Structure 1
C-alpha cells in the first residue's frame, strides 16, 4: 500500500499544518475534501515512505 501525507494552511490563522498520520490515497482525498470545506488553502497530498 502507498502512504500519503496531507499538508495545508489553516484558514483562520494561516498556520501551515501537516497530518500526523499517513493515509491511503482515497482517505487522503477524503481529508482534502474535508479541509477544502473548512476553508483551508494550499492543500497538498504527497506520497511518503512507510513510517515517515
Structure 2
C-alpha cells in the first residue's frame, strides 16, 4: 500500500501544517477536500514511505 500525508497552510493564521497520520490516496483526497472547504491554502498530497 502506498502512503500519503497532506500538507497545507491553516486559514486562520497561515501556519504550515502536516497530517499526523498517513492516508491511502482516496482518503488523502477526501481530507484535501475537507481542508479546501475549511479555507486552507497550498494543500498538497505527498507520498511518504511506510512508517514516516
Normalised by the size of structure 1, how large is the TM-score? 0.99
**Count of aligned positions:** 52
Q: Structure 1: where are the runs of 5+ without partners?
A: none
What is the deviation of 1:14? 0.6
Normalised by the size of structure 2, how large is the TM-score? 0.99
Please list every run of at least 4 consecutive aligned residues from structure 1 whose deviation after the TM superposition is greater than 6 angstroms: none
